[in-house]
A and B are shown apart, each in its own frame.
Chain A
Amino acid sequence: MSDHPVLLPTPDGPVGANVTEPEGHRRGAAVILEGIGGRRFGVNRLWSRTAWALSDLGLVVLRIDYPGSGDSAGVRRGRRTEEVVLEAVRWFRDRTRELDLQLVGACYGANLAARVAREEPRLSRLILVTPHLRKIPSRTVGVRVRRLMGGALPRTPRPALDRRVCGAIAAAARKAGTVAIAGELDGSLGDMIRLRAMVHRSGGELSIDLVPKTDLHGHRTLHAQRETVTRIVAEAGRGLEEAGGGQGEQRDPPVHRTGTPG
């Protein structure tokens, strides 16, 4: 495999990204979208290592620095991350359009992956890693006043589930195999179970790949990192097998527990 750093030209400045090419024949394409505030390489190179492992399967993989960070630090402020990501993925797909696409979205990246999935005609897999499914808290005057008042006011209520994001994931799940990878100790596991019910009601299927006794979010332990890479690669492999035909029936049940115990 080989890494190719790129600066994607946009009207607001260059967007930094890295494309990992497989050594031999290309079998598909993938985009990894990390959480907001993260880096395209991830904690302890989690996403770099994931890209390298996916390219071992034959996937050409794109990772992007979001506007305002890393190599995209020069992108004009005020541009919405979603617009920039869509622009970057379109640029990538212009060069990989003959390939099926797998999307990996971690935390807030799941939100972006769902948005990308909506306009992708050749989606073959949507892999969510501890997806953030709630609305992003706004920094409104109300929130600031609460902070200033400290304990005098009740806590800011937890944001509601983002129906737009859940709807987009449900739509993607009707087009392609969709899985959420989560740790048993992740605080957002309940949201994923609700999402699975929503997806099921809309006629799709979402499986939850649960890592026992582990908090995956934040990838603070080497165990969480290993499990994340292993499970993404396994899912991507299934995606390739299904795209190859004849093996789609081997999908996992909606919830399964595999892997090394914590």
Chain B
Amino acid sequence: MVGSGEPAESHSPHEWDAFQRWTGNDLVREVYYFRSGDDRLYASAYASPRPRLSTGLVMCPSWGSEMAHLQDLCHDVARGLASAGGAGLVYHPPAHGDSTGDPAGLTLERLAQAAKDAARDAGGRLPQHRWQLCGIRLGASVAMVAAEELSCELVVLIEPALDPAAYFEEVRRAGRRGALGHGTEEAVFGFPLPASTVASASEVDVGGAVRRFPGRVLVVRAARRDPPSMPASAETITVPRAWRPRPSARQRAPFVEAVISALAGPVEAAR
């Protein structure tokens, strides 16, 4: 891989680091890196300067191109929750975004480990909040697996893909269609999808994690004619909108409002 040299471990304080925090618009924000295994993962935290809500949500993003296309939804939920008095954290998984990591070594377990590390790090930085997980698409599977070990009380799942093997099959099919002859089997929408990643999807028991989870599972999903079955124990909110793979701000808003309303009351009250 060209340019595969990755950033060094840590560095002495630098003039740029004075700009890692920002306060305004009734928000406190911080951007930073945290350690997860051998990788440095990027994180962006949102919090209220006057916490009124104990809930903090770590946003577990999806995989590959979906991570990028749904990143703004992660930011919207994190910012919305912070505006309502809570906190939110968006991180880039290994081998994604601004984080380091080798795509060839990416497994569901590795993704779940990163989510756990993100939550533990957030708990150290913003201990006034009780950190829970929120997963989008494949991130929902990641969140469910990670939540078991973290002893979370709440998991929020947005348009969840709770069968990782089926998810990778679906994105591979979509990638073939989207490439229109320009793509290759090695990558899906420009992202490498090694066989080891696909194989790891069958090795995690997401269904079992959902069944065993003792806390509240909140599912927020789009309206559709034949909705996939969700765990009976889950509380489901159906948003009367179609799911868009690259949602605009207007298309994201009802999903964000559904999450914030369920956790903090009507969104209007938070503004």
Determine the distance from Cα of A68 to Cα of B188 in the docked complex, in whole angstroms: 26
- The interface centre, meaning the residue of B33, B68, B71, B79 with most chain A CB atoms within 10 A of its CB, is B68
With A1-B5, A3-B33, A16-B44 as given contacts, are A222 and B186 in contact (CB-CB < 8 Å)?
A: yes
With A18-B98, A39-B97 as given contacts, are A233 and B2 in contact (CB-CB < 8 Å)?
A: yes
Q: Is the CB of B31 within 8 A of A73?
A: no
Determine the distance from Cα of A23 to Cα of B24 in the docked complex, in whole angstroms: 33
B245 within 8 A of A: no
Q: Is the CB of A7 within 8 A of B192?
A: no
A50 within 8 A of B: yes
Q: Which residue in chain A gives the minimum CB-CB distance to B101?
A: A45
A8 within 8 A of B: yes
Cβ contacts under 8 Å, A49 to chain B: 1-4
Report 5 cross-chain contacts, Cβ distance below 8 Å, ordered by A residue. Answer: A4-B14, A4-B17, A14-B22, A68-B249, A77-B249
With A7-B21, A222-B186 as given contacts, are A21 and B16 in contact (CB-CB < 8 Å)?
A: yes
Q: Is the CB of A74 within 8 A of B27?
A: yes
Determine the distance from Cα of A70 to Cα of B98 in the docked complex, in whole angstroms: 11
Flag A60-71 by CB within 8 Å of B: 1 or 0 each.
Answer: 000000001111
Q: How many contacting A-B pairs (Cβ < 8 A)?
A: 146
Determine the distance from Cα of A63 to Cα of B6 in the docked complex, in whole angstroms: 16
Cβ contacts under 8 Å, A95 to chain B: 15-16
Q: Is the CB of B103 within 8 A of A70?
A: no
Cβ contacts under 8 Å, B103 to chain A: 44
Determine the distance from Cα of A183 to Cα of B22 in the docked complex, in whole angstroms: 41
Q: Which residue in chain A gives the minimum CB-CB distance to B6?
A: A52
B8 within 8 A of A: yes
Q: A45 CB to closest chain B CB, in angstroms? A: 7
Q: Which residue in chain A gives the minimum CB-CB distance to B96?
A: A45
- Taking a contact as CB atoms closer than 8 A, the residue among A6, A13, A221, A226 that contacts B1 in the complex is A226
Determine the distance from Cα of A81 to Cα of B29 in the docked complex, in whole angstroms: 22
Q: B62 CB to closest chain A CB, in angstroms? A: 14
Stretch at the interface among A112-120, A163-171, A193-201, A212-220: A212-220
- Taking a contact as CB atoms closer than 8 A, the residue among A44, A48, A53 that contacts B187 in the complex is A44
B65 within 8 A of A: yes
